[in-house]
């Protein structure tokens, strides 16, 4: 009985963390140097501290599941790769790498934290989470209408997006995946709970807002990831969803010219695709030279600088902007920064998580989100975007209602 206050506080801090993610780049707190601190970083740190306190109240007797252990092993490999890089990077770069590794650890811990919240409170916090992700969609639509031109922020390292939903992430691809998770999450409620008429109407409203915002990202990686994820969801829950969403997609394609342009452009090697192919080739060049443990977790910006990838047409170096620390493929990024050892540990963790979520009563949402995440990661470095991890791992932990614990 004495541990209950811990889990009440964990629940509050968990929801608080998700809502601080809504602030996105607006929640940035300047601390000097190249390390940025965000409101969500502070929130998740408090969450982890309280969680460790709850483990201490249990005398650290918690049984960790296989996928949790494998996640910790992957994080350990990331640290080993970073330590291995000490011989080739400056102390400043190493310290920055350690700080970003710590951030990755804290957000990754949302997986076991979410599971513990469910196990001890039996609350999935659906409505709070649904409100949070829908608010993200509303903010994106407002940004689309009121601040459509991002060209003025190029000097601050952002891409010059024009009339695209970026929301508070300032990026249409990352915003698109968060919205995709949101649609699948809210839809799952329809099939896994008895909803009143009012609740059904609210679900309709939330899904509508999220879909509108998703379409307006004009992100092809999002369209593809969401389309495949939704197909998985539909085959598990209700194949009629594909018909409804197919009609919605056809209407968007017919009446929104930019959707046509983006989808048709995906069938050819346009400028964006050319940039991605070039990025893949450059990343592979680094992989070949550092096959075992890579260049070190979160030292990729330095590696690209050393390889001359940031030189412009005049041969002048820059730092690559906000995208300079990542690659356009999460798995190639893993190879480049953590080598074959890192990629294998990531894949083993992923397979273990896949095996675990199949047993959940929310397997449609969890499997479809996992598939969407993997597809999206082929085009964007979304697997290491901590705000994406906050949602995906946090809700996965909450919804891992494995049969042996479901009635406990």
Query: Is 249 among the domain residues?
Result: yes
- Tell me, yes or no, whether 85 lies in a domain: yes
How far is 337 from 299, CA to CA, in rounded Å?
Answer: 7
Is 163 inside a domain boundary?
yes
Say what the pLDDT of residue 326 is: 66
- Asked if the structure places residue 48 within a domain, the reply is no
Q: What pLDDT was estimated at residue 188?
A: 95
Model pLDDT for residues 352-370, shown as the tens digit of each residue: 999 999 888 899 999 999 9
Q: Is residue 37 classed as helix, strand or coil in its secondary structure?
A: strand
pLDDT of residue 266: 65
Residue with tokens 């989100």: 369
151 is a domain residue? yes
d(CA 21, CA 276): 27
pLDDT digits (tens, 9 = 90+) for 39-85: 999 999 999 999 999 888 777 788 899 999 999 999 999 999 999 98
pTM of the model: 0.91
Inside any domain, residue 391: yes
Answer whether residue 244 is part of any domain: yes
Secondary structure class of 294 (helix, strand, coil): coil
pLDDT of res. 316: 43
DSSP reduced 3-state for 350: helix
Note down the domain range covering 252.
Answer: 65-275+316-406
Which two three-digit tokens encode residue 157? 């390292």
What separation in angstroms does the CA of 256 have from each of 309, 344, 392? 36, 42, 30
Q: Does residue 47 belong to any structural domain of this protein?
A: no
Please report, for residues 21, 160, 314, the alpha-carbon distance to residue 310 in angstroms, rounded to integers and kept in the order given: 30, 18, 11
Specify the number of domains making up the chain: 1
pLDDT digit string (tens) for the chain, length 408 residues: 445 677 889 999 999 999 999 999 999 887 765 567 899 999 999 999 999 998 887 777 888 999 999 999 999 999 999 999 887 888 888 888 899 999 999 999 999 999 999 888 888 899 999 999 999 999 999 999 999 988 888 777 778 888 999 999 999 999 999 999 999 999 999 998 889 999 999 999 999 999 999 999 999 999 999 999 999 999 999 999 999 988 988 998 888 888 888 777 666 666 677 777 888 888 888 888 888 999 999 888 888 877 777 655 444 455 555 555 667 899 999 999 999 999 999 999 999 999 999 888 899 999 999 999 999 999 999 999 999 999 999 999 999 875 434 433
């Amino acid at each position: 009985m004495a541990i209950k206050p811990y889990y009440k506080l964990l629940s509050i801090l968990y929801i608080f963390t998700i809502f601080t993610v809504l602030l996105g780049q607006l929640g940035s707190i300047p601390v000097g140097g190249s390390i940025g601190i965000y409101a969500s970083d502070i929130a998740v740190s408090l969450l982890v501290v309280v969680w460790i306190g709850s483990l201490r109240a249990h005398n650290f007797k918690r049984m960790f599941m296989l996928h949790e252990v494998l996640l910790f092993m992957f994080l350990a490999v990331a640290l080993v790769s970073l330590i291995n890089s000490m011989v080739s990077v400056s102390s400043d770069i190493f310290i920055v790498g350690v700080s970003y590794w710590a951030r990755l650890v804290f957000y990754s811990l949302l997986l076991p934290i979410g599971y513990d919240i469910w196990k001890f409170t039996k609350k999935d916090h659906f409505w709070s989470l649904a409100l949070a992700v829908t608010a993200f969609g509303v903010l994106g639509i407002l940004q689309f209408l009121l601040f459509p031109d991002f060209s003025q922020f190029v000097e601050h390292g952002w891409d010059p997006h024009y009339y695209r939903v970026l929301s508070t992430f300032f990026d249409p691809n990352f915003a698109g995946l968060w919205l995709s998770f949101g649609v699948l999450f809210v839809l799952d409620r329809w099939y896994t709970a008895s909803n009143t008429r009012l609740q059904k109407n609210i679900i309709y409203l939330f899904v509508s807002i999220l879909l509108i915002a998703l379409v307006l990202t004009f992100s092809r990686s999002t369209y593809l990831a969401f389309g495949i994820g939704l197909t998985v969801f539909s085959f598990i829950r209700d194949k009629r969803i594909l018909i409804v969403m197919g009609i919605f997609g056809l209407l968007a394609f017919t009446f929104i010219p930019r959707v046509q342009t983006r989808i048709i452009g995906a069938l050819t090697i346009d400028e964006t695709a050319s940039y991605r192919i070039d990025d893949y080739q450059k990343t592979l060049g680094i992989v070949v030279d550092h096959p075992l443990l890579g260049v070190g977790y979160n030292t990729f910006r330095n590696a690209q600088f050393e390889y001359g990838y940031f030189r412009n047409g005049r041969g002048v170096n820059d730092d690559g902007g906000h995208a300079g620390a990542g690659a356009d493929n999460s798995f190639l990024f893993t190879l480049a920064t953590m080598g074959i050892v890192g990629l294998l540990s990531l894949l083993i963790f992923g397979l273990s998580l896949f095996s675990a979520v199949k047993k959940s009563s929310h397997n449609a949402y969890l499997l479809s989100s996992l598939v969407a995440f993997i597809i999206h990661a082929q085009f964007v470095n979304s697997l290491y975007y901590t705000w994406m991890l906050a949602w995906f791992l946090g809700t996965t932990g909450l919804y891992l209602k494995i049969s042996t614990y479901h009635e406990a």
